[in-house]
Structure 1
Amino acid sequence: MRQHAVVLTSLIGLALWACSDASNLREAPGAEETSTGESNSSLAGPNEAILADDDPMEHLNYLASDALRGRNAPSADFDKAATYVTNLAKKYNLVGPNPGDSNGAYAQSFQQGSLASQSAKEHVHGDDAQDPASYGVSLFEHGFYIDPKSPSAEARSLAAQPDVVLAGNTHNVLAKLEGTGAKKAEVIVAMAHLDHLGVASGGAVYNGADDNGSGSAVLASLVPLLAQAKANGQLNRSILFFWTAAEEDGLVGSKYFVDHPISGIGLSQIVGVVNMDMVGRWDDQRISIIDTKSNGSTSYLSGLLTQANNALSDPFDRINKDINSYARRQDGASFYDKGEDVLFVFEGLSNPSGGGSLNADYHRTTDDVSKIVSENGGRKLSRVRDLLNNLLKLAANR
């Protein structure tokens, strides 16, 4: 019965997505503003009646649309995505924690570069999804931030190379939801990378619906839910919503963040990190995680995840731990290298019980919203949202 229901719901969901996609590609809330502009707190606009802020599929339909041309960082297209999530954070009165930044208090700006000797490389993840060792051996394998005064010796060395090519300026998006309890000075980081691969040489768009429009959309959908939890007095600790830039070039934005502390959210204030990446595909009854710390011990977040799942009306049947070989391929690595507790949430490999390969659309121009809808009717993103809503509230109040 469940299999038949899944197929029917998926077909209905695909039809609804096809009908609604054009309306979602209309002007997005706040999209008329630049990343440096002030937000209209009501986000009034043509999509006001359409956008359900706690629905990740609504956010995904915009973030993974052709209108954003693959969200490559740095680019004006990435800036549109950054403005979109920034305006959402402003709507719910989250705080921009970085006043004085050239792109506004919700930004953390940096210069991105690469070496001319490596400029012919496509991108650091490569096309060989079966070879996780090919990524992350060197954190700055292809792209890196340029800061001659960085606390990182590797970053300083790269900035001093004679063949450095400046790709441009880009920025992370940061939005802080202040806790109301005795431990509000402590911060839980909830994060996802906002960027993807841009446009192929032939003009096709790398929409990156799963990678990582899915994680970015789930993160956006959590903003109203956790803002309501705060209003109800249910957030002892603060939560930092963190959309990173230039992950696809080598975890650049997350590395810049941990190397350049911001007042109030430095490493000493951070007491847990939840990173989500590629959480939309396959069936909606399984998810995969990495929950180990840099010293190999289990993060406290693992136990909280079990509680969070058990609290769902329909818990995930399988929480697989099948992706440890990909530990270096995600932004959480920048944090656990600094000793932080990190939970990496991922959609899992092809084997439903764990293991296997990444989906065939990984880093292809075929990574579109329709693939997510056809596989699970778009329900999986809402289920991941509910799981993480439970988890983040548990982490904030433990």
Structure 2
Amino acid sequence: MATRLDPLDLYDVRSLLTDEERLVQDSVGRFVDERVLPIIGDCFDQGRFPKELIPEIAGLGLLGATIPEEYGGAGMNGVSYGLICQELERGDSGLRSFASVQSSLCMYPIFAYGSEEQKKHYLPPMAAGEVIGCFGLTEPHGGSDPANMKTNAKKDGGDWVINGAKMWITNGNLAHIAIVWAQTEDGIQGFVVPTDTAGFKAQEIHKKMSLRASVTSALFFDNVRVPDSARLPNVKGLKGPLGCLTQARYGITWGPIGAAQACLKEVLDYTAQRILFGKPLASNQAVQLKLADMARRITTAQLLSLQLGRLKDAGKMQPTQVSLAKWNNCRMAIDIARQCRDILGGAGITTEHSAIRHALNLESVITYEGTETVHELVVGRELTGINAF
């Protein structure tokens, strides 16, 4: 008899992983099953980030996972980092966003663009979860046009004085440091700004219907003075923050796979047990067609992200390839979450089930770090050679 396939991995993508990659996935998966899933629905209801989990997340080596061990990281490859994102988002997008920002948007720029002193000072405690970072790029009026940046930093003797505001900043009110991008006379530059610096203010954003188990803030800079040693010395211009976003978007291509798998598993269990008109809902042709389509789309996303990870680890990954996977996988996941919510019927509108929570979270994931339209246009530019922005 043929062995029955894993409904969440029809193409046995797991067999394409190394032993180390499978170990990473299994370790994070156990953490999500045992520590995240029992509380995350309540956290979402309460609008609370489960910061009590930070020491455990750090203890598993999930913060700065790809950073070399000499700076406190775990020295993992890109595929392992992707699997971390997939498993964390199977729990909740807010949890993956926390790790994504800490790893790709805060630790990465210090590692890639920082001085040796900055690396040694910040990276080990950040990997340990003792210093939390946030990433200050997006501005209230800027959105998809980061070049339209108003936040500025002006040289004053040996210091820099920063003025401006940033919006939609994950971890803002949790953070001990902010990676702040600002216009200078010499182009856009990055600064590591301690959040207890005079003139710095973080204001948490409430009334959210998405990423409720995550801290989202607005940042304000009123003559925030930092020494030149706070400046990231090894990059100038938009390539600095855009390089960080490429790293984070890579992880985001993996995360929604976990969210979609969570929704599909929930609906497979529900339709097997739900009796309607005298038979299990799973025996309905319309339901099976929907389930089959979900499996098809999840499989496609798995293979996209795995190949993207192999390209990344070979040093061949291009931003357009990241855009294609982010666009495809976020669209896949949000469509599946909505479809699963529909199959669950009235029960699907409560956080007793995960589909509505994932669907609402994915409204943010499909928007941040490049909207779906922006990534479509990135691919279009690659195909035609014409910039249509």
TM-score, normalised to structure 2, is 0.28
Larger radius of gyration: 2
Where relative contact order (Cα < 8 A, 6+ residues apart) is larger, the structure is 1
- Which protein has the bigger helix share? 2
TM-score, normalised to structure 1, is 0.28
